Amino acid sequence: MEIIHISAECYPMAKAGGLADVVGALPKYQQDLGHVAKVVMPMYRTKFLYENEWTVEHKGNLRMGEAYYDFTIIREASNKLGFDLYCVDINGLLDREKIYGYDDDTERFTAFQIAVLEWMSQWQHRPDIVHVHDHHTGLIPFMMQNCFVYRYLASIKTVLTIHNAQYQGWMSWEKATYLPAWDTWKWGLLEWDNMVNPLACGIKCAHKVTTVSPGYMREIKYNANGLEFLFELEAGKCTGIINGIDYAVWDPAIDTYILSNFSTKKIKEGKHLNKKKLCDDFGFDIQLPLFVFIGRLVGEKAADLLPESISRAFDQMPGAFSFLILGSGEKYVEAALQNIQEQHVGYYNTQIAYNEKLSHQMYAGADFLLMPSRVEPCGLNQLYAMRYGTVPVVRRTGGLRDTVIDFEDEGGYGICFNNASVADIIHGMTRAVKLYKDPTTMQQLRWRMMQVETSWERSALQYIDLYLSIL
């Protein structure tokens, strides 16, 4: 099969979250299974763009409402990612350093989707599957089927993967004029709650819809930011497929980002050396259990609960643990986390940044990873932690429920709690500190979690089976 993935993110070209990791890994594993997988994304001005060679594949133009734009399609020349990576350049819209957060994001991603279809409509062949990811590409199935100029693409099967249903790309109806001429009898496919809703549109129009874990698919039927009834209506074509992780990137035995490589045969030594690196860098006591939080400092991740939770945990267990945070997000959360730093010198530090190298070192050196998420469609951080022998301390939600078993249950290796609350977070941390005092059990849990199969191989096969079911 030929599979075209269309996404706003792809690691290592541009990353804001787990979407990039998925789109950067799944096509590679599909290639390994003997298929042709390609990725198309916007051409942001990133470090990866300037450090690699590119070839121009296509030049064209598009109309979006009353505006006209020229666009260029370029391809990464060396195939270094294990699949063809194409980027769409639209001067004035996509030539930005950041992925999201601009006032004209609606125009940026609508133009991106139109440019992709303008290009594909010029192909002499048709791919088997067009696989779109999240609301940024949710209008593509609709346009393929209902825009008159793209009727050549109408027979291609489409799949939508939802990485986070909270973000839906809402647009006012006046912006529906951005789309090429379409069958206005089909206006209901664009509409949800009196607005154009790209994610809802994708759910209605795609031949199959997936979420990134079975648990999240169950949850969005009652927590989908207004789309709950739609998921009930479309339940027959929806399924959950758990994400994997890319073992070429996330493997402590070969990871070039960490101080000391290790495997299941040398867990104790490897964890000790990598923890010493973190403790030396941040002034922590290596004898104490080290907690880390890595990720976006936003409400979905319950990051707003961290300042109070950490402060109260220090009050209840003074001098009993160290805590290191890496991430960025809501400014008030960043400020609150930085404000408690002076109160716990030698035990606590916050790094407000995105730092890929430091994140790898933290997975390798930490004892516990805290994930108290309110919403976690799949979660990759807990999978990275398990791969590096770091015990995940997680709230039972979405993919966290699917992938982490409490250590007191049969076959378990993590610490689980039920509510995104300060009390539950502290209870989870208290259990972790107690567990740390039993080094034999800690070593057994580390060995057990590092044995868990978390690669993309199984999930890639499930996606292939899904494609075959609609071809």
- Annotate 294-323 with DSSP letters as a single string: ES-BSGGGTGGGHHHHHHHHHHHSTTS-EE
Q: Which H or E element spans position 440?
A: helix 439-451
What is the spatial distance between Cα 402 and Cα 199, in angstroms, rounded to a whole number? 24
Residue 321 dihedral angles phi and psi, to the nearest 5°: -160, 165
Are domains 2-244+456-470 and 264-451 of this chain identical in fold? yes
DSSP 50: H
Quick check: helix, strand or coil at residue 246? Answer: coil
Euclidean distance between CA atoms 384 and 67, whole angstroms: 44
Q: Is the bond into 214 cis (omega within 30 degrees of 0)?
A: no
Q: What tokens appear for 288 in the block?
A: 């104490």
- Distance from CA of residue 236 to its chain's centroid? 25
Q: Which CATH architecture has domain 2-244+456-470?
A: 3-Layer(aba) Sandwich (3.40)
10 bridge partner residues:
14
Q: What is the DSSP letter of 186?
A: G
Q: Strand, helix or coil at 188?
A: helix
238 bridge partner residues? 209
Which tokens in the block code for residue 296?
């976006």
DSSP state of 43: -
Yes or no: is domain 264-451 CATH 3.40.50.2000?
Answer: yes
Burial 436-449 (b: 16+ CB within 10 A, else e): beeeeebeebbebb
The answer to whether the beta carbons of residues 320 and 290 sit under 8 Å apart is no
Break the chain into its structural domains and give their ranges.
2-244+456-470, 264-451
**What tokens does 59 get?**
């030049």
**Residue 58's Cα: distance from chain center in Å?**
29
CA distance 100 to 131: 21
State residue 17's pLDDT score.
84
User: Looking at residue 226, what is its pLDDT?
Assistant: 96
Q: Strand pairing partners for 2?
A: 36
Mean pLDDT by 10 residues, the chain (471 residues): 98 92 96 97 97 97 95 97 97 94 96 98 96 98 97 96 96 96 96 97 98 94 94 96 92 97 95 98 98 95 97 97 96 96 95 95 98 94 97 97 96 97 98 98 97 93 97 96
DSSP type of residue 257: T
* Structural tokens at position 180: 């090429």
Residue 278 burial class via C-beta count within 10 angstroms: exposed 0-12, middle 13-18, buried 19 and up: buried
Rounded Cα–Cα distance for residues 78 and 109 (Å)? 27
Contact (CB, 8 A) for 215 and 240: yes
351: tokens are: 């790094």
